Structure 1
Amino acid sequence: MLKGINPLLNADVLYALRAMGHGDRLVVCDTNFPADSIARQSALGRLLRIDNVTAAKAVE
């Protein structure tokens, strides 16, 4: 376990955060946003999920 890192951040999310560089954008959205179709157009090419958590909690 990584010390000090919230366990809500799964391996896929941590990978994407590590791979981000200057000028990259991260979108945190709720279920009403068309995230899957937007994610397919991104550099990563797939949707990352943190389930059963509010957007505010995910950002925290």
Structure 2
Amino acid sequence: MKNTKPLFGIILAVGFIYLGYYLTQKEEEYKVIVGYVTIVFWSIIVLFAAYKKLTTKKQTT
């Protein structure tokens, strides 16, 4: 269960990125803006999570 939490978060973020991409295909201007903001925000979250996952060292105590 402990190993699935980061995976669940990454899958959730990728889902929101896909939702943002879907919104950019709409014709209303506000939906396109929200789509781009969603893509940028969740991409930053995914990059930060990947950076933290790769740079943290496990403690064996």
Q: Calculate the TM-score normalised by the size of structure 1.
A: 0.30
In terms of fraction of residues, the more helix-rich structure is 2
Computing the radius of gyration from Cα coordinates, the structure with the larger value is 2
Indicate the structure whose relative CO is greater, using CA pairs within 8 Å and at least 6 residues apart: 1
Q: Calculate the TM-score normalised by the size of structure 2.
A: 0.29
